[in-house]
């Protein structure tokens, strides 16, 4: 792995207002799903894994939003 790839992997990204809007929307939807799981499932391994998977999906979603060039408009809403 070269230096440029290492720097890209561990860079801190700042959201512009449009990216922040997308991130907040995604977080709100993830919270809704987490609430459904929390209310429908008993505590246990499966529920814990489901919550961890949601957290991971949110992390990767935010990473994708952050790495979208600020000059590119995010469509598909």
Taking residues 3-9, report their average pLDDT.
87
Is the Cβ–Cβ distance between 71 and 29 less than 8 Å? Answer: no
pLDDT computed for residue 71 by the predictor = 59
Q: What is the pLDDT of residues 25-74, one digit of tens each?
A: 999 999 999 999 999 999 999 999 999 999 999 999 999 999 887 755 55
Q: What is the pLDDT of residue 77?
A: 45
Domain layout of the chain by residue ranges: 14-67
pTM: 0.77
SS3 content of the chain, % helix, strand, coil (to 5): 70, 0, 30
């Amino acid at each position: 792995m070269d230096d440029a790839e290492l720097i890209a992997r561990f860079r801190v990204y700042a959201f512009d207002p449009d990216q922040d809007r997308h991130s907040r929307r995604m977080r709100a939807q993830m919270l809704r799903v987490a609430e459904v799981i929390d209310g429908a499932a008993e505590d246990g391994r499966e529920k814990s894994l489901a919550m961890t998977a949601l957290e991971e999906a949110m992390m990767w979603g935010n990473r994708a939003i952050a790495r979208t060039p600020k000059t590119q408009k995010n469509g598909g809403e």
